[in-house]
Amino acid sequence: MQDVVEKVYEQVVARNRGEAEFHQAVREVLESLDPVIAKHPHYAENALLERIVEPERQIMFRVPWVDDAGEVHVNRGFRIEFNSALGPYKGGLRFHPSVNAGIIKFLGFEQIFKNALTGQGIGGGKGGSDFDPHGKSDAEVMRFCQSFMTELSRHIGPNTDVPAGDIGVGGREIGYLFGQYKRLRNSYDAGVLTGKGLDWGGSLVRTEATGYGTVLFAQSMLATKGDSLEGKKVAVSGAGNVAIYAIEKAQQLGAKPITFSDSSGYVVDEAGVDLELLKQVKEVERGRVADYVSRRPGARLVTEGRPWDVPVDVALPCATQNELDADNAATLLRNGCAVVAEGANMPSTPEAIEAFQAAGILYAPGKASNAGGVATSALEMEQNAGRTRWDFATAEAKLTAIMADIHESCVEAAETYGRPGDYVLGANAAGFTQVADVMIAHGIV
């Protein structure tokens, strides 16, 4: 079966040249599926691997917009509709200068398995643009979002493709995108976008969901060892929604997060992160981590290295892809880190993952541990369809149950395929088999 997997991977590299992140995501999944294919050869006979690595649809378009000085700019827009076997395409939009077809393709591929694990009947997709919202006025962001949605609107819908937010796309951007969609379609399709404002179709807990879910998954992993997050020191990277609410949930469960970061460096606050100050700086003022340090006695800003240099019990990478490499992994292990749960998408390099698994620590890949965000997006879609709204406790209880189910699915799949405790195999196998079985049922389409 290894020959089958290697052949498919070689085809992916040949057909998607220069898309390193996509190659990395595909290899990580395919390599772990070898025991699945060996046990169920009909997947190979039906060319499931060849089919699942090829997007159903790839959309790229021009996005012209005008800045406040009247100058015209042109960005690229992307939407990769990867797999709709389980339901409408579902996945965020990322606005960041690093965005290109390969980045969006890797994110969309990961989304297939992540969404399958939630059990919420959603397919995998992803989109975005190389537009950078940082430093732009609200009016400039609005004009860009309106131009972006003018093209995207013809490809999406509540039962076709449901985008959400990601890096660079928060409540402000979702609002502008939805407003333009409604204007173009002359239809209040609340379920076409998730991450909406609470007073126009959004769901409570959606903002918190990815961060909360990551910590809940870490807690479930620790519970398999008769342990918990109580009293644990935690390193968190990033300072967006995922990082902030991972810190919040970790504190609620008795842990002590002591780091967070942005592109200017990372903060170490040995007294424990002041969550209210962090929210004020990042969510209200849209400031930098240095602004936190200037107001927080005892906190320090480190501009060299990464949060993984700080001795902790638990690491939660919540910033971006490939932010934690082999050297960082070695440092974490040397300092006694026993748990790594990914809040970002593919934040650990293959070499780092190999080091974690070789050391036998608890390691959760993002497609399992950060699935809380998209799971709650699906819950938002459910509320929109029923024109109802749940209170915070109800929504959080549903998220907690989904994360427990995802953890159980990963554990069971890892045991089924002969590698107990291997959450990489467990997540990939559980997600793949769900999608593959439905693809077979739908025929060669």
Q: What is the distance between the alpha carbons of residues 277 and 275, in angstroms, rounded to a whole number?
A: 5
**Whole-number average pLDDT of the chain:** 97
Q: Where residue 230 falls among pLDDT bands split at 50, 70, 90?
A: very high
Q: What is the distance between the alpha carbons of residues 273 and 233, in angstroms, rounded to a whole number?
A: 11
Residue type, 57: R
Question: Residue 298 region, left (φ>0) first, then alpha (ψ -120 to 50), else beta?
Answer: left
Q: Assess whether pLDDT exceeds 70 at residue 1.
A: no
What are the structural domains of the chain? 1-54 (no CATH), 55-188 (3.40.50.10860), 207-367 (3.40.50.720)
> At which residue do the structure tokens 């019990």 appear?
313
Mean pLDDT for 392-420 is 98
Q: Assess whether pLDDT exceeds 80 at residue 51.
A: yes
Q: What is the distance between the alpha carbons of residues 240 and 244, in angstroms, rounded to a whole number?
A: 6
Mean pLDDT for 331-349 is 97
Q: Assess whether pLDDT exceeds 60 at residue 165.
A: yes
- Which of 90, 126, 233, 367 is catalytic? The answer is 126
> At which residue do the structure tokens 């903060």 appear?
267
Which pLDDT score, from 0 to 100, does residue 28 have?
Answer: 94
The helix (H) or strand (E) run that includes residue 256 is strand 256-257
Mean pLDDT for 45-61 is 97
Which pLDDT score, from 0 to 100, does residue 393 have?
Answer: 97
Closest CA to 140 of 34, 221, 33, 63: 63
Q: What is the distance between the alpha carbons of residues 35 and 294, in angstroms, rounded to a whole number?
A: 53
> At which residue do the structure tokens 């389409």 appear?
445
Which pLDDT score, from 0 to 100, does residue 213 have?
Answer: 98
User: Residues 21, 320: contact at Cβ < 8 Å?
Assistant: no
Q: What is the distance between the alpha carbons of residues 72 and 286, in angstroms, rounded to a whole number?
A: 26
User: Residues 63, 115: contact at Cβ < 8 Å?
Assistant: no
Residue type, 352: A
- Chain segment 342-381, per-residue pLDDT in tens: 999 999 999 999 999 999 999 999 999 999 999 999 999 9
Cα three-residue angle 116-366-50, rounded to 5 degrees? 50
249 flagged as catalytic: no
Which pLDDT score, from 0 to 100, does residue 330 have?
Answer: 98
What sign has the CA pseudo-torsion 436, 439, 443, 444? negative
Mean pLDDT for 294-310 is 97
Residue type, 360: G
User: Residues 272, 292: contact at Cβ < 8 Å?
Assistant: no
Say how many C-beta atoms besides its own lie within 10 A of residue 276's C-beta.
8
Mean pLDDT for 147-172 is 96
Show the 3-state SS of 221-275.
HHHCCCCCCCCCEEEECCCCHHHHHHHHHHHHCCCEECEEEECCEEEECCCCCCH
Mean pLDDT for 204-209 is 96
User: Residues 371, 111: contact at Cβ < 8 Å?
Assistant: no
pTM over 0.75: yes
Task: Phi first, then psi: give them for residue 206, nearest 5 degrees.
Answer: -60, -45
| Distinct helix (H) and strand (E) counts, the chain | 18, 13
Which pLDDT score, from 0 to 100, does residue 4 have?
Answer: 85
Q: What is the distance between the alpha carbons of residues 374 and 400, in angstroms, rounded to a whole number?
A: 13
- Chain segment 14-24, per-residue pLDDT in tens: 999 999 999 99
Which pLDDT score, from 0 to 100, does residue 3 have?
Answer: 85
Question: Residue 119 region, left (φ>0) first, then alpha (ψ -120 to 50), else beta?
Answer: left
Q: Residue 85's Cα: distance from chain center in Å? A: 20
Query: By three-state DSSP, how is residue 73 classified?
Result: strand
Q: What is the distance between the alpha carbons of residues 384 and 279, in angstroms, rounded to a whole number?
A: 28
